[in-house]
Amino acid sequence: MTLDAVLARIDADLPQATDRLLDLLRIPSISTDPAFEGDCDTAADWLVADLQSLGVKAEKRPTPGHPMVVGHVEGDGPHLLFYGHYDVQPVDPLDLWDRDPFDPEIQDTDAGKVIRGRGSSDDKGQLMTFVEACRAWKAEHGTLPCRITFFFEGEEESGSPSLVPFMQENAEELKSDLALICDTGLFESRVPAIVTMLRGLLGEEITVTAPDKDLHSGMYGGIAMNPIRVLSRVLASLHDDTGRITVPGFYDGVPELPDNIRQQWQGLAFDHAKLLGDVDLSVPAGEVDRTPIEMIWSRPTCEINGIWGGYTGAGFKTVLPSKVQAKVSFRLVGDQDPLVIRESFRQMVRDAMPPDCEVEFHGHGAGSASITETTDPAFEQARTALSDEWNIPAAYVGCGGSIPIAGHFQDILGTTPMLVGFGKDDDQIHSPNEKYDLESFHKGIRSWARILDALT
Ligand SMILES: [Zn+2]
């Protein structure tokens, strides 16, 4: 019955919890812009003070960039780590916001009450769901439920440059039995979800140069090699007619879906027609023999993200350009090795170069995919807790995006990550008018209380 007392406390304390979140949202902790460096520091201080008020030994830890916030509380049972980030995305274009992004408020909308403001969903609101669950627990029990390490980052929205070195230097301190990460969303905005599959990412920039200067096609057209023609042919050859990617060895390490996951996904009412319809499309463009849900969660991709070269201004100019450039990225799954694929891709492009053409490459990051084994009983316990709170069976899902932190917990600390989040597809994270449903915040706090109860 003690869980009931904690849940009742959470319900009664929601207005105060919301006020605390609004306080945190007023701090413009935009990590990528040096003008907000002091604000990032202020947000870290705010969190240290808040954790200390829960009896957590918390401190701001310096990095070459924005500080980490690390807090520990001792206890029996499993050692849990909780990760969230206190930095936010820039707010421009400002004129598309219906209010000051750092003057948050609760708004009534047709879909219910929302907390409007930058960071409300990504990730301050989500981060505070766990902190508030701990606060209610402490108020009812006098202590927190087990040994907990709080780990808050201030550079997630700007590429996390300090994260890996910090985790390596403090691996012994951060190592735990399970890392809870709250930076994801509900499946289809209504089903609670534990993300167990994240795709990796590899980026490449290509420059092909043919003549050493731009030429006039009246003078040189026909006799001189045009680098746009060369690169277009290469880019067009990256996919075959069935949507498969043609880079040699690309599918090495791509696993087939385990049967239990395939069955679960078949049971999910995934509406690909709506996903495509929302952006005025209708036909899935991936491998022809794969389902739409596989295309975004469990299959690797190759996308051409940008091409530029020659004359692109107003009017017309019959230029025969000296060089052309393109950016290409790959989403990776399973055991695909980003560095092996990078080499294979570069060799494929080099092999396609005719005489007189030179190609240069510039790499843009390479991270492998992560798949979480759900064999640890904590996963089923958490799934049951989530199902109980939301009154609908929680799902193990994939995520087309990349959350590098999950892989780092696994690789650097040997700690299994569990990704649970309460965001919705229409939260407009990274965009103007970001919001977090008050219900997501409230049920998120209650969910963590149930999960803590189940795990300890
Ligand atoms: Zn985030």
Q: Which of 123, 359, 100 is nearest to 227 (CA)?
A: 359
| Distance, CA of 112 to CA of 90 (rounded, Å) | 26
292 Cα–ligand 1 center, Å:
25
| Distance, CA of 189 to CA of 195 (rounded, Å) | 14
Cβ atoms of 394 and 191 within 8 Å: the answer is yes
89 Cα–ligand 1 center, Å:
9
121 Cα–ligand 1 center, Å:
8
| Distance, CA of 305 to CA of 282 (rounded, Å) | 21
Q: What is the pLDDT along the chain (456 residues), one digit of tens a residue?
A: 589 999 999 999 999 999 999 999 999 999 999 999 999 999 999 999 999 999 999 999 999 999 999 999 999 999 999 999 999 999 999 999 999 999 999 999 999 999 999 999 999 999 999 999 999 999 999 999 999 999 999 999 998 999 999 999 999 999 999 999 999 999 988 999 999 988 888 999 999 999 999 999 999 999 999 999 999 999 999 999 999 999 999 999 999 988 888 888 888 888 999 999 999 999 999 999 999 999 999 999 999 999 999 999 999 999 999 999 999 999 999 899 999 999 999 999 999 999 999 999 998 878 888 888 888 999 999 999 999 999 999 999 988 777 788 888 988 999 999 999 999 999 999 999 999 999 999 999 999 999 999 999
159 Cα–ligand 1 center, Å:
11
Cβ atoms of 296 and 272 within 8 Å: the answer is no
Q: Take residue 310 and report the two structure tokens written for it.
A: 């020659």
400 Cα–ligand 1 center, Å:
15
237 Cα–ligand 1 center, Å:
35
52 Cα–ligand 1 center, Å:
24
85 Cα–ligand 1 center, Å:
7
18 Cα–ligand 1 center, Å:
19
For ligand 1, an ion, list residues with CB under 5 A: 122-123, 183
419 Cα–ligand 1 center, Å:
12
331 Cα–ligand 1 center, Å:
19
Cβ atoms of 31 and 451 within 8 Å: the answer is no
20 Cα–ligand 1 center, Å:
19
393 Cα–ligand 1 center, Å:
25
DSSP per position, 141-200: HSS-SSEEEEEEES-GGGT-TTHHHHHHHTHHHH--SEEEE---B-BTTTB-EEEEEE-E
Cβ atoms of 427 and 122 within 8 Å: the answer is yes
pLDDT, position 1: 54
